[in-house]
Chain A
Amino acid sequence: MENIAGKKPALSWAKNVAMATMVLIWVIPTLGLLVSSFRDRDQISATGWWQAMLPVELTARARTGTEATPEGGLYRVEGVIFDDEEAQSYFSGTPGDISAFGIRGAEPTAYPAGTTADLGDGETLTVNADGSYVWITPEEPGNRGQRVYFAAESPPKLTLDNYRTVLSGDNMGRAFLNTLTVAIPATIIPILVAAFAAYSLAWMEFPIRGLLIAGIVGLLVVPIQLALVPVLNLHNEIGVGQSFVGIWLAHTGFGMPLAVYLLRNYMAGLPRDIIECARVDGATDFQIFTKIILPLSLPALASFAIFQFLWTWNDLLVAKVFLPSADEAKVMTVKIADDLLGSRGGDWGILAAAAFVSIAVPLGVFFSLQRFLVRGLLAGSVK
């Protein structure tokens, strides 16, 4: 279609713009989360993530020094406000110019930089844009300087602090391991069981085969919600209860229809000649399965494995029901939905980091194995 004569360039321009707009809408939210997860807590509340690369105007708190020189009955204290340790803690690098300052927390920017604030009783404070200050007080300062608030631009600060906090402090590390523990066996075990069943449904003749295939197609859409209560009760009765064993079994069961369906479709599409040739060569069904079908079905097995891995990794519902609610057994989705969103609802940096920890692995899987994912999707829904 690229070479058709007389094609209008305007249309292709419009197409590019439309596509770009759509891609932006789809990517920006995730990008925002990623950027936010690396930003300093103070900066997040000061400016939006889209300004992360710009300096942020922060309000800092500091004290002046106390080394005073007497000057005509008054004491004069000079210095640079950024030398104060408390002030430094606000800024990641060299702070920019001070725009305003104040002496009370309620009005941190009451005086523009360079002006002199009258504190009463002849006491004055001047803070210049470069941070130098002059504090003149009638009394000897003693060992505490004057409280100063000021606003200054801080250079952008990207840090791994949020990740450190999430992984160490919030048990997210444990939750990560738990998610892994749930996802891997729940991905591997159904594959083999489903592959054998798929082979028999694709290549063996037996009476109610068609009925079974139809039944599996039907089970594809059964809402999991329906299975929760009876299966949990069953697990409790047979002593499995709420446990990792329970969730592995549950995921195996819930993933089985898709597994059998996908694999059967794929296997049924393998060339009949090859299977018959193996039969003429003397292979038994078991040998045909292990030596011919299984190696040839690797793409489909990979597709299903990716699906099942993403599904078990990302699942919230099954984990909430089949895993114990104790903190040490929580998977990441439960941890985020139940704990972090509640207790740290306003702590955006932590939330972003937690979310990113939980979606990093699926995203990695997605971008490295997208090919198989697409193939699996197509096998599952288009003939």
Chain B
Amino acid sequence: MNPLIQGLATIILGVGGCIGYFYASNLLLDKVLYPAKGPNIASNIRRANIIRPWLFIFPALLVLTVYLAYPVVGSAYRSLFNRSGDEFIALGNYVALLESPEFRRSFLNNALWAIFVPVMSVTAGLIAAQLSDTLKWGNIAKSLIFMPMAISFVGASLIWKFVYAVDSDIGLINAVLAGLFGAGPIDVIQIPFWNNFFLMFILVWIQTGFAMVILSAALRGIPEETIEAAILDGANPFQIFFRIKMPQIFSTIVVVWTTITVASLKIFDIVYAMTGGNFGTEILPSYMMSFMFRDDGRATSVALVIMIIVLPVMISNIRQAQKELR
């Protein structure tokens, strides 16, 4: 079957199925199981209302369980077995990871990503937000800086492959080097260690718009009176920014920071498209993919390492959510 037709059929089937399920299950509850009439009307209604939330939430819960909750357990379990999955080797995969220099390299690179990308994105985003809010053409500027959000990591990688190209007729960096300093072409993708930063910058380029949009909204949410009061108190623009505005949007900065940190821990596409993990740029997700389809035991153990790194963020998010619900 042509995938396109299959796709259409799936849409109809999926949407129709959903509507059908919700409608039919509610009907069943209200008309057959606990009809809102007769002598038990009050208790019937109460009972129906106890069950109804579960009807509403069931499909989502099922999907979440199968596709996210179960895999956490499933991966943890699978990572205790060998390549083919028939032999229990306890922590063997993890021991192998620790002994592998590539894993250590990936881990350190990943740590680098998790520090550099949020620092740069948040800083650049904050600057962009602050600048754009005071300029007449600020909205256009924002739109352009936000644009990379729409571009795939692969597309972004390609865009920057042009900029980084060795040929000074393609690569902007080498063109500038040659034009201004007459320096010979360098392949920034192959400079040991520093090449990582050139890859990270691609993610910074993408995430800055995200940081900017949210921080800009937070900056606008600051009560104008506090800033006017600071002006009357004689604070200069820098003091206003660092001592009046920053503290008031601190919690938003934390949210943006953690979101970008998590994103930079999971990113796979950029390294895969730019270097394929060569030249010392391997990170955990790409390292994991090198085992995918070959050694599920090793692949899941790497995935679990990523999960463990993300865990503190997850716990603090959950705590935060619970606090807000109360």
Contact = CB atoms under 8 A, between A and B. Distances in A.
A201 interface: yes
A47 B75 contact: no
Nearest to A336: B154
Contacts of A48: 168-170, 172, 175
B15 A348 contact: no
A177 B132 CA distance: 38
B149 interface: yes
Given A336-B273, A337-B273, 10 more contacts: A12-B134, A27-B147, A29-B160, A189-B14, A197-B61, A212-B61, A227-B68, A229-B299, A286-B23, A367-B143
Interface stretch (B92-100, B112-120, B181-189, B303-311): B303-311
Interface in B150-175: 150-155, 157-163, 165, 167-170, 172, 175
B281 to A, nearest CB: 15
Interface of B: 3-4, 6-7, 10-11, 14-15, 18-19, 22-23, 26, 30, 49-50, 52-54, 56-57, 59-61, 63-64, 66-72, 74-75, 78, 124, 127-128, 131-132, 134-135, 137-138, 141, 143-155, 157-163, 165, 167-170, 172, 175, 205, 208-210, 213-214, 217-218, 221, 224, 227, 231, 237, 252, 255-256, 259, 262, 265-266, 268-269, 272-273, 285, 288-289, 292, 296, 299-300, 302-304, 306-307, 310, 313-315, 317-318, 320-322, 324-325
Contacts of A354: 158
Interface residues of A, number: 117
The 5 closest A-B pairs by CB, nearest first: A253-B67, A230-B74, A314-B152, A197-B60, A366-B150
A274 interface: no
A266 interface: no
B107 to A, nearest CB: 14
Given A210-B325, A231-B71, A286-B22, A185 B52 contact: no
Given A316-B154, A316-B269, A381 B78 contact: no
Nearest to A201: B57
Interface of A: 1, 4, 11-12, 15-16, 18-19, 22-23, 26-30, 32-33, 36, 44-50, 177-178, 180-181, 184-185, 188-190, 192-194, 196-197, 199-201, 204-206, 209-210, 212-231, 233-234, 244-245, 248-250, 252-254, 256-257, 260, 284-286, 289, 310, 313-317, 320-321, 329, 333, 336-337, 341, 348, 351-352, 354-355, 358-359, 362-363, 365-367, 370, 373-374, 377-378, 381-383
Contacts of A230: 70-71, 74-75, 78, 300
A383 B324 contact: yes
Contact of A221 (B30, B160, B310): B310
A8 to B, nearest CB: 9
A365 B60 contact: no
Contacts of B289: 317, 320
Contacts of A50: 172, 175
B312 to A, nearest CB: 10
A377 B103 CA distance: 34
5 contacts: A26-B144, A200-B54, A257-B64, A365-B150, A381-B255
A117 B49 CA distance: 98
Nearest to A335: B154
Nearest to A204: B53
Nearest to B322: A214
A286 to B, nearest CB: 5
A219 B75 contact: no
Contacts of A190: 63
A337 B154 contact: yes
Given A177-B4, A217-B321, A32 B163 contact: yes
